[in-house]
């Protein structure tokens, strides 16, 4: 389907209503990553925002703020689109695995698992979370450029697949002396550039991730001599929040050429993992491809490369993170103080900020927001939405077009499902927010709000300092 139409001229925007999903969102093939809000978001007859059949201002009254609000139906639809597109467009076996670093909690992992999605984990904590959510170990893949021996041992014990990122991984696996061969995929750096933030490019040569292409033969030599390692596949990942299709089109040939070399060396490779990286819409200017378009390019690329190198179609794996969960969640804040710097800027402050969303201060990321308790109010002011933390750079949205705001208005920031809760901190000793799952008018807590007692639980006061 075509990308939904939004007026990209911010100066012409008139109210929060235009951020609501348009008529195309009701189509079965509507791609959630192309919308700023969950697909079933709407305005109530009270002029308030509803998500998942729940009134957002009422949710804030009940659960407090800041508050992550996750739309279950939107998340399920995204999982289904990835799963169905990969199954329908690829001629061989396939598996979608969720890059859970985007947001790892038991509820999200359980929903993804119930939709037939596997799990990509990058730490012992994420591995435990996936297992707790009921994800079978054979569908869990452990990533990471500096896995501890303990993390590797846990993955081996549970029967997970390990993505070997470097020599450190391989030598530590051999040192563990597992009783039976460990399923291993080799992560290689493909040398493919894409236009995204430099911190989230992982496919170019100068990256901390993956074996350098010049090491491929040496790596193959090593693993063929290790009875405890069974190399079942090849992996690469080129980055995150990518809007270009061509880099993923180029990746197939690179990966299959390595896959063929591994086969020729007698390695039992049967899986090919193309990573993830598809972007989502955060602002009107963002124009990501649809999930179907991305899968179509990936599958065509891999299929063509297999024909070129005369390789039977391997099991094809992709690992979306941001594009699977990002657009399913919003964050609700309450407005507090206001400040005007004459001739320069108007500030409004909310009761959260960089501790619940570090992306603006880390990546200079831009967001859009709506006033949930007055959706049709006219945009007549330009304000900078500031966070509450003792940091000048704690700005949630610079130069936002909004109606005049009053204390206790509910300001909702859109598309906050990826790398918000997962990167949240206790900076300034601020407790992390609650998260709720909304579906068909029902709201359930999936992450409870932290308390002061939670903040102090790990503190230890030496006896000599106790009064």
Give catalytic residue positions: 390
Which residues have a Cβ under 8 Å from the Cβ of 25 and sit 6 or more positions away? 4, 35, 39, 40
CA–CA distance, 235 with 296 (Å, rounded to integer) = 19
* Tokens representing residue 255 in the block: 């990966």
CA–CA distance, 258 with 281 (Å, rounded to integer) = 33
What number of helices (H) and strands (E) belong to the chain?
12, 20
* Tokens representing residue 142 in the block: 């452990």
Exposure string over 168-180, b if 16+ CB within 10 A, otherwise e: ebbebbbeeebee
Element (H, E) at 446: strand 442-447
Which residues have a Cβ under 8 Å from the Cβ of 47 and sit 6 or more positions away? 373, 374, 375, 376
CA–CA distance, 201 with 224 (Å, rounded to integer) = 31
Q: Which residues pair with 411 in a beta bridge?
A: 333, 371
């Amino acid at each position: 389907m075509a990308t939904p139409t939004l007026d990209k001229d911010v100066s012409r925007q008139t109210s929060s209503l235009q951020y609501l999903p348009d008529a195309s969102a009701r189509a079965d093939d509507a791609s959630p990553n192309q919308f700023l809000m969950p697909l079933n978001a709407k305005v109530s007859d009270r002029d308030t925002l509803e998500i998942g059949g729940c009134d957002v201002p009422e949710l804030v009254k009940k659960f407090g703020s800041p508050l992550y609000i996750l739309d279950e139906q939107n998340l399920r639809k995204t999982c289904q689109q990835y799963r169905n597109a990969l199954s329908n467009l690829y001629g061989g076996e396939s598996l979608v695995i969720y890059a859970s670093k985007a947001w790892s909690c038991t509820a999200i992992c359980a929903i993804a698992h119930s939709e037939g999605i596997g799990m990509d984990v990058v730490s012992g904590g994420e591995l435990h979370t996936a297992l707790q959510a009921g994800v079978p170990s054979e569908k869990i893949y452990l990533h990471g450029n500096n896995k501890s021996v303990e993390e590797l041992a846990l993955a081996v014990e549970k029967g997970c697949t390990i993505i070997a990122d470097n020599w450190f991984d391989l030598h530590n696996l051999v040192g563990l002396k597992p009783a039976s061969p460990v399923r291993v995929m080799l992560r290689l750096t493909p040398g493919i550039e894409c236009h995204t933030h430099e911190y989230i490019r992982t496919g170019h040569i100068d990256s901390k991730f993956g074996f350098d292409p010049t090491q491929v033969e040496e790596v193959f030599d090593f693993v063929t001599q290790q009875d405890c390692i069974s190399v079942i596949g090849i992996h690469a990942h080129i980055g995150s929040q990518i809007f270009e299709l061509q880099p993923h089109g180029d990746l197939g040939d690179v990966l299959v050429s390595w896959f063929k070399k591994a086969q020729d060396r007698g390695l039992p490779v049967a899986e090919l993992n193309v990573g993830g990286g598809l972007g989502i819409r955060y602002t009107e200017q963002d124009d990501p491809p649809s999930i179907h378009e991305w899968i179509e390019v990936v599958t065509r690329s891999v299929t063509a490369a297999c024909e070129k190198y005369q390789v039977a179609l391997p099991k094809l794996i992709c690992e979306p993170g941001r594009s699977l969960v990002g657009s399913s969640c919003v964050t609700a804040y309450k407005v507090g103080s206001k400040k005007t710097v004459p001739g320069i800027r108007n500030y409004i402050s909310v009761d959260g900020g960089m501790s619940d969303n570090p992306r603006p201060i880390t990546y200079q990321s831009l967001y859009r927001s709506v006033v949930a308790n007055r959706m049709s109010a006219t945009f007549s002011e330009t304000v900078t939405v500031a966070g509450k933390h003792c940091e000048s750079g704690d700005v949630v949205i610079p130069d936002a077009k909004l109606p005049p705001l009053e204390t206790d208005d509910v300001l909702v920031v859109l598309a906050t499902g990826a790398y918000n809760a997962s990167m949240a901190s206790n900076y300034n000793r601020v407790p992390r927010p609650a998260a709720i799952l909304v579906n068909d008018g029902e709201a359930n807590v999936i992450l409870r709000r932290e308390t002061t007692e939670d903040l102090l639980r790990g503190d230890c006061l030496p006896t000599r300092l106790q009064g």
